[in-house]
Chain A
């Protein structure tokens, strides 16, 4: 018997943070203007200590002006999507649940596009609209997935797939008919990329992400029991209705804020929690933080590949995650996860 301890959770997280740091350094190094690792580290240290005068201007521009903001965006998006995927998997008791597969990302994307059409200059409107889109979609999919008063796993997934294709069609319709307006590209909303800088200060989004992910984390021991069955969880004293509400809202906020700045990047919420389960076990008290950091690692690396693999052309990062995610989805569908 080796129960999970806070110390072990912190140790694992520290390890993953080190991997994330390595991924960030790799990402900072790679690109049209290569920079040596030693220069990156010196620049980062000087930048953090506020010694800007000691940094060559081209390093400052490439690292702090171009690559680091994009990495920061990637970390936010990856952490949000992976945490939200882990949350949806427990709530819907379905190992294949994740925002993209369930159509929640497409719902958020549609909400974001509508806000760009109707309130293009309102600060934060796109995030709120994306959250509403995500929340409305998961509500609809949840009810589509119920049969005889119970959530039915295949029906839920089919409901999600239908919702995703319907919402994608609506996005394509809007983008085609309103092609003259500044709504970003169709590929951005359907596949997702990190090339365009968000219209809002990233710090606000990080704050929202930390609050929503923290809310899910605070329910992690309840989610462990909900995974073994809702009825059992109730008998063991879990306030199931409250936990579900908190996690639904938080997972929708996370999906909404990720999609509002990066479009609908798929499979992160599926890939990362499953890899973390295989590495560190199914306990949500370790799964939520490791998924968040793991999601960040995945997106940082995937985006680095996306912008360098066929340089100077950039691939959308969603294409990279889908290339990796789709086979994993099929593998998981055919085999019960341990």
Chain B
């Protein structure tokens, strides 16, 4: 299915792009019965388990991972990013198992955008974005002109061109989010993962970010996977939804298939209605407090 890309910085140059592929959208991400378990020590019983999760995503697709707190969203993201090896099953990006890739190759293919830890020493925005070129660099990794061009284009793509000489610690929440995204784009990944990127943004910022991700997926042929709590934005901008609850994957598919009133009401423990809009995308409306 094809989602409507409404708005964004379409005028920005498209140099930051994934490698070209055949005409039909290529399969980018394949998650096959992947599961995981956390334990405090090797011998103790697992504290949290993520049951087998399966779904696929093609290039230019936006996938939203939904679920209440402690449903396993971050764990799934760790598996997809190759930070943890699945207990069973497989996670493949471009046909290669993620956990078997070495760290640099993985960083060339997968970029993960998280809430950033505080910087120890202040950096300029351009210095920060250039860090995204690290996985492509050589020994000591002095940046080339091409690296600068790609970092500049990444900043342009997120509409943060004017911020390049600012200090990172002077940026507002929304500006910082864009710069962090630009660093991920400078990695030239084929899979872009975002962990609750809308968390500290106001409603306008959330909308703008999701629009931008939609555009990036379309223009750069990325596969974008977003972990979020925003049910309506996810329904509006994503091609697939993965719904997690208490470590289990309840459903994975297009928004219209996943958004069922009873299912969502039970998972999020909130009284709600699901309306189908004219564009075929569902909308969730809260109906008041539960009796």
Task: Check B121 against A227 for contact (C-beta < 8 Å).
Answer: yes
Secondary structure at the B interface, as helix, strand, loop or mixed, is helix
Q: Which of A4, A6, A228, A237 contacts B123 (CB 8 A)?
A: A228
Q: Find chain B residues with CB under 8 A from A106 CB.
A: none
Quick one: given A93-B120, A227-B119, A228-B128, are A235 and B140 in contact (CB under 8 Å)?
A: no
Task: Say if the beta carbon of B137 comes within 8 Å of chain A.
Answer: yes
Q: Are B108 and A221 in contact (CB under 8 A)?
A: no
Q: Does B116 contact A (CB under 8 A)?
A: yes
A140 to chain B, nearest CB (A): 22
Determine how close the nearest CB of chain A comes to the CB of B142; give it in whole angstroms.
6
Given A93-B120, A338-B167, A225 contacting B134 (CB threshold 8 A): yes
A4–B142 contact, CB under 8 A? yes
Interface of A is mostly: loop
Asked whether any CB of chain A lies closer than 8 Å to the CB of B83, the reply is yes
In the assembled complex, the Cα of A282 lies from the Cα of B120 at a distance in Å of 10
Residues of B within 8 A of A235 (CB): 81, 83, 107, 111-112, 114
B151 at the interface (CB under 8 A from A): yes
Q: Is B51 an interface residue (CB 8 A)?
A: no
Q: How far is the CA of A93 from the CA of B116 in the complex (A)?
A: 14
Q: Which of A229, A235, A336 has the most CB of B within 10 A?
A: A235
The yes or no answer to A207 lying at the interface (CB within 8 A) is no
Q: Which chain B residues lie closer than 8 Å to A218 at the CB level?
A: 139-140
Produce 1/0 per residue, B111-148, CB < 8 A to A: 11010110111110011101110110101111100011
Interface membership of A170, Cβ < 8 A: no
B134–A237 contact, CB under 8 A?
yes
| Interface: A139 (CB within 8 A) | no
Interface size on A, residues (CB 8 A): 32
Find out whether the CB atom of A285 lies under 8 angstroms from the CB atom of B142.
yes
Q: Does B207 make an interface contact (CB < 8 A)?
A: no
Contacts A227-B121, A234-B83, A338-B122 given; does A6 touch B103 at CB 8 Å: no
Contact (A3, B121) CB under 8 Å given A218-B140, A236-B107, A237-B103 = no
- Would you call B131 and A224 a contact (CB within 8 A)? yes
Q: Which residues of B contact A3 (CB under 8 A)?
A: 130, 142-143, 147-148
Closest residue of chain B to A283 (Cβ to Cβ) is B127
**A206-256 interface (Cβ within 8 A of B):** 218, 220-221, 224-225, 227-229, 231-232, 234-239
B-chain residues with CB within 8 Å of residue A285 when the two chains form the complex = 140, 142
Q: Are A236 and B83 in contact (CB under 8 A)?
A: no
Determine how close the nearest CB of chain A comes to the CB of B15; give it in whole angstroms: 15
Residue B86 is within 8 A (CB to CB) of chain A in the complex: no
Given contacts A4-B142, A94-B120, A228-B128, 12 further A-B contacts (CB under 8 A): A1-B130, A1-B151, A6-B142, A221-B141, A232-B116, A232-B117, A235-B83, A235-B112, A237-B105, A238-B134, A338-B121, A338-B167
| 24 examples of A-B residue contacts, CB within 8 angstroms | A1-B130, A1-B148, A1-B152, A3-B143, A3-B147, A3-B148, A5-B142, A218-B139, A220-B140, A221-B134, A221-B140, A221-B141, A224-B131, A225-B131, A228-B116, A228-B117, A228-B120, A228-B123, A232-B114, A235-B107, A236-B135, A238-B103, A282-B123, A336-B169
Residues in B lying within 8 Å of A, measured CB to CB: 81, 83, 103-108, 111-112, 114, 116-117, 119-123, 126-128, 130-132, 134-135, 137, 139-143, 147-148, 151-152, 164, 167, 169, 187
Question: Residues of A with Cβ closer than 8 Å to B?
Answer: 1, 3-6, 89, 93-95, 218, 220-221, 224-225, 227-229, 231-232, 234-239, 277, 282-283, 285, 336-338
